[in-house]
Amino acid sequence: MINIQDIREDFPILQRRVHDRPLIYFDNAATSQTPTEVIDSIVHYYTHLNANIHRGVHALSQEATEAYEQARHKLQLHFNAKHAREIVFTAGTTHGINLVASGYGQLLKAGDEIVISASEHHSNIVPWQLAAAHSGAVLRVIPMDAHGVLDMQAYTAMLNERTRVVSVQHVSNAMGNIHPIARITELAHQVGAVVVIDGAQSAPHIQVDVQALDVDFYAVSAHKMYGPTGIGALYGKEELLNTLPPYQGGGEMIKEVHFQASTYADLPYKFEAGTPNICGAIAFGTAIDYMHFIGLEAMAAHEHALLQHALEGLQSIEGIELYGNPNLNERTAVISFNLKGIHPYDVGTLLDQMGIAVRTGHHCAQPVMDCYHIPGTIRASFAVYNTFEEIDLLIEGVKKAKRMLA
């Protein structure tokens, strides 16, 4: 068993007060809080290690390079990539998906098909719209049911020899639904399509094994995994990263530059143009260490218990509308809900006055809200440091908000 009080002490921000109340932070699907270990590794970098990497013969540059590459190795082990060179540091999930989509925008031809799902975050919609516009490819969308569960029959029927790319989220940010990625990938591969996964919501909660899933690309953000903002990673199978055109040109990503033509660096540097977020990458590695120190299974078990406790409490409120898969084994600890006849923004504002941070709105998944004909939801998303007592206060808060707004 993990001791949540001990874990809470690792997160200094949880000592904060908001509107003169203790902070209850339930916006973890937007960004998670940062443990002291990760903050310390950022301070350590700028105090002891700061230098540009892969360039200097001097000791500081070599030490910084070593720490940066060690972080890449940690990510390789964590996601079980075959090679460290299959891990590209990015600015986050959005950057990773754009890197892949812009490459396929150049490789695809008119009439090729790109498949996404109705549940996607804008980050996994717009880059593919751009790729389709650039190449003349057609965008197709896997429909979902009233619980946000993807229609696998429709998906299977959609696949054909023109399908070149299937790009879907592993877990929905709006509802927490876990999609059947292994099966989606297997079916896509049967028609020769590559599979790109938006892992922004899965990586913080699920042990991801890219080889077991057999996915071709997998994009994540550190700031949702107890790491800092502005850094993420893209996994890509070596042979596919080799055929993908570079995303940005500049220093670090080249072998030789001449005015007639240039040659590109080997993986992963071909995709890391310019001075990267060295400090961020190292701190991301520390965040991964932190997750393993707590234990991914223990974290998931605690979060699942929180989800169950919260759903039981919320379900008892009359007029509540809950979204997402009712099968909790296919959910991470995200709850989207509305109170009948009340705008989600008003509930969110009252909860904020009580020190409770939730997200309201469309959660960057406007098509999902369109599907339900609602302007948005109230979303509470949990992390390892949240407690049952905090959830009881949320339920009390929602009841109070309902009384005030009814």
Ligand X SMILES: *Cc1c(COP(=O)(O)O)cnc(C)c1O
Quote the least distance from Cβ 126 to ligand X, whole Å.
11
State whether the Cα torsion 233-237-240-242 is positive or negative.
positive
Nearer to ligand X, 158 or 231 (CB): 231
Q: Which is nearer to ligand X, 376 or 397 (CB)?
A: 376
Nearest distance, CB of residue 228 and ligand X, angstroms = 11
Q: How far is the CB of 47 from ligand X (least distance, A)?
A: 27
Handedness of CA 379, 31, 100, 88 (dihedral sign): negative
Q: Which is nearer to ligand X, 76 or 169 (CB)?
A: 169
Q: Is 279 a catalytic residue?
A: no
* Helix intervals (H) in 80-174: 93-107, 126-135, 152-158
| Smaller CB separation from ligand X, 233 or 294 | 233
Q: Report the distance separating Cα 390 and Cα 25, nearest Å.
A: 9
Q: Measured from the CB atom, is 227 or 397 closer to ligand X?
A: 227
Min dist CB 155 to ligand X, Å, is 18
- Give the integer Cα–Cα distance in Å for 48 and 24: 35
Choice between 362 and 402, CB closer to ligand X: 362
Strands (E), 278-348: 320-323, 334-339
Question: 368-377: long-range contacts (C-beta < 8 A, 24 or more apart)?
Answer: 368/118, 368/119, 368/148, 368/172, 368/174, 368/175, 369/174, 371/118, 371/144, 372/323, 374/338, 375/343, 375/344, 376/344, 376/345, 377/174, 377/323, 377/336, 377/337, 377/338, 377/344
**Residues binding ligand X (CB under 6 A):** 92-94, 121, 123-124, 169, 173, 198, 200-201, 221
Backbone φ, ψ for residue 133 (5° rounding): -65, -40
Q: Point out the catalytic residue in the list 126, 296, 305, 364.
A: 364
d(CA 70, CA 56): 18
The token duo for 202 is 């899965």
Smallest gap from Cβ 123 to ligand X, in A, equals: 4
d(CA 93, CA 228): 13
| Least distance in angstroms from the C-beta of 70 to ligand X | 23
Catalytic residues, which ones? 364
